[in-house]
Every structure is written in structure tokens, then in C-alpha cells.
């Protein structure tokens, strides 16, 4: 049973998890599970329908997400906002002024980019969102890669993005992921996105992975690298103790924001 005071974003996260698991949800069952009214659940379903996550049917909804498909950027941007901000701030604190840094795409990457604004750094963001967040900071030397922008995501992918990274050497790469485990490694939903992540990792002396605790329970389609190849993982208090312990035993530094 869930708290009656549960935030709407948290409740919608739960609905999405059930859609991923079952493919269909029922309004009455969700209202009972989340200890809320059916009217509230219908509103949640309408929000998710507008985001392209589901299609409403009589008495509930069915998923429009393919197996392993990522949620739309706009929806992920309002998930775990506080945790992502804390992770971004802790990740940014690992840098020394003057470093050359590459910042991955995704909502966690955007949180890092925002935390870097105002620092004296050379930064290459791998998304349009990250570039916009850094463009107004006069102390940032902003470098832009080539590539094709993924619709809705704003991440820069393709041979030009990979070539831009291969031609440079960075002090630190901040990577993001869709899934993380010692058994399956660092994974991403999009194959092109995973290729750019691999190029960023290869171009950096130090790799810092930023990932909310929920990512530890997920595995996506494309492998970026083994988890052991990451130098530091910055996560939140929701990260499972067993998984954190296994990463540390494998030599990965794990920081919790």
C-alpha cells in the first residue's frame, strides 16, 4: 500500500512500471494500490497518454512502449528531480577548475551540465539541452560536437559525433545510462546513443557515471561498457545496498548524494 500523500510524479512512475510489466492497467486496481481516487488515476493516465506512453481504453489503459523502450525525455525530466539535482551537484564537485569535460545526454546529464554552469571549464555537451544550459555561462569554454539530434531527446548521435570525440582527449567524461549492474554492465536503450557513450568513454582519462538508484534494477538493449570500467558512480540513497557493495568490491568508487 502506498502513502495517500504520494506525489503525482511518483504515482505515475508506479503506473509506468506496471505498464512495463503487464502491458495493461486497470483504473480501479490502481486506485486501490495507490490509495487514491479513481478520478486521480484517470488524470494520471491522461498525462501519460499525452506523453505517448499509453493509450486509454475502457476501464484502464494499454502500453504503447515497446519492450525496453525509454520513456519520453519530457516525462523523464520531471522524474526524481531532487535526486538528479543532488547527483549533478556532487558530480560537478569532483572537478578541478580548468578541466576539459564531456557531458553525456539525458536528464541526468542535463543536471550535471546545469551544475557546471559558472565553473571555469572546457565542456563538450552531447545534447542540445546541455548546450543550452551552458551557453549563457561566460566562464565555460563551450565546444559543440557534430552529429544528428535525436528527435525529442536532443542527444547528438552518429558518425560525426563519434568522430568529434575521437579527435579530442578529455580529463573527465560524465556518462549517463538506462541500466547499470555488475553482471550486465552499463547499458542504453538506443544503439546509436550507446556508440557515442563508448566514444566519450574512450576519449577521457576518468569516467564518472551518474545514475539514480532506480537504474540499478534495469538493463537496456545496448551495452556501453562493463561496470568495472567506470571509475566513479554517483548515485542517490535509493541505490540498493547489495549492488553498491558489489561495485565497490570490484574497485568502483560509489558516491551517494
Same-domain pairing of 116 and 242: yes
Q: Is residue 19 part of a domain?
A: yes
Query: Distance (Å, rounded) from C-alpha 55 to C-alpha 121?
Result: 45
**35 CB contacts (<8 Å, ≥6 apart)?**
1, 2, 3, 4, 6
Which range, 18-27, 64-73, 93-102, has the best average confidence (pLDDT)?
A: 93-102
Greater model confidence, 62 or 200:
200
Q: Which domain holds residue 175?
A: 75-256
Residue 3 is assigned to a structural domain of this protein = no
Whether residue 244 is contained in a domain is answered as yes
Query: What CATH code is carried by the domain that includes residue 35?
Result: 1.10.10.10
Whether 205 and 84 map to the same domain: the answer is yes
pLDDT value at residue 75: 61
pTM given for the model: 0.78
Task: Supply 144's cell numbers.
Answer: 559543440
Per the document, the length of the chain is 257
Is 227 a residue whose pLDDT tops 70?
Answer: yes
pLDDT at 85: 94
User: Which residue did the predictor score with more confidence, 77 or 240?
Assistant: 240
Whether 113 and 57 map to the same domain: the answer is: no
Could you tell me if 122 and 246 lie in one domain? yes
* Cβ neighbours around 9 below 10 Å, total: 14
pLDDT of residue 5: 44
Give the per-residue pLDDT at 76.
65
**Average pLDDT of the residues of the chain:** 91
Based on the fold, state whether residues 19 and 146 are members of the same structural domain: no
Verify that 138 and 233 share a domain, yes or no. yes
Q: How far is CA 140 from CA 115, 122, 131, in A?
A: 12, 6, 11
CA distances from 228 to 1, 22, 44, 180, 189 (A): 37, 33, 39, 11, 20
**Do 124 and 230 fall into the same domain?**
yes
Distance between CA 164 and CA 175 in Å, rounded? 16
Q: Using CA atoms, how far apart are residues 115 and 210, in angstroms rounded to an integer? A: 13
Q: What is the pLDDT of residue 158?
A: 97
Name the one residue in this structure whose C-alpha cell is 545514475.
211
The structural domain count of the chain equals 2
* 118/30 same-domain check: no
76-80, 96-100, 187-191, 205-209: range with lowest mean pLDDT: 76-80
Looking at residue 228, which CATH number applies to its domain? 3.40.50.1360
pLDDT, position 87? 97
Whether 16 and 142 map to the same domain: the answer is: no
Whether residue 142 sits in one domain with residue 213: yes
Residue 1 is predicted with a pLDDT of: 40
Average pLDDT over residues 39-63: 89
Mean pLDDT within 109-114: 97
Amino acid at each position: 500500500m502506498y502513502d495517500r500523500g504520494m506525489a503525482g510524479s511518483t504515482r505515475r512512475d508506479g503506473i509506468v512500471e506496471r505498464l512495463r510489466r503487464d502491458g495493461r492497467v486497470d483504473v480501479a486496481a490502481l486506485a486501490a494500490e495507490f490509495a487514491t481516487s479513481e478520478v486521480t488515476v484517470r488524470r494520471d493516465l491522461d498525462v501519460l497518454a499525452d506523453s505517448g506512453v499509453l493509450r486509454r481504453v475502457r476501464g484502464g489503459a494499454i502500453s504503447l512502449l515497446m519492450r525496453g523502450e525509454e520513456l519520453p525525455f519530457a516525462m523523464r525530466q520531471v522524474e526524481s528531480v531532487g535526486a538528479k539535482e543532488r547527483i549533478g551537484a556532487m558530480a560537478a564537485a569532483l572537478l578541478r577548475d580548468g578541466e576539459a569535460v564531456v557531458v553525456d545526454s539525458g536528464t541526468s546529464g542535463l543536471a550535471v551540465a546545469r551544475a557546471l554552469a559558472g565553473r571555469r571549464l572546457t565542456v563538450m555537451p552531447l545534447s542540445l539541452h546541455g548546450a543550452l544550459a551552458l551557453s549563457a555561462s561566460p566562464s565555460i569554454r563551450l565546444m559543440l560536437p557534430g552529429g544528428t539530434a535525436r528527435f525529442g531527446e536532443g542527444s547528438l548521435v552518429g558518425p560525426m559525433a563519434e568522430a568529434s570525440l575521437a579527435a579530442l582527449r578529455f580529463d573527465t567524461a560524465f556518462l549517463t545510462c538506462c541500466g547499470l549492474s555488475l553482471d550486465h554492465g552499463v547499458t542504453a536503450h538506443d544503439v546509436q546513443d550507446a556508440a557515442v557513450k563508448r566514444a566519450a568513454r574512450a576519449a577521457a582519462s576518468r569516467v564518472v557515471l551518474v545514475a539514480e538508484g532506480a537504474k540499478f534494477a534495469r538493463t537496456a538493449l545496448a551495452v556501453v561498457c562493463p561496470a568495472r570500467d567506470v571509475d566513479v558512480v554517483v548515485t542517490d540513497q535509493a541505490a540498493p545496498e547489495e549492488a553498491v557493495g558489489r561495485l565497490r568490491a570490484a574497485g568502483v568508487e560509489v558516491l551517494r548524494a
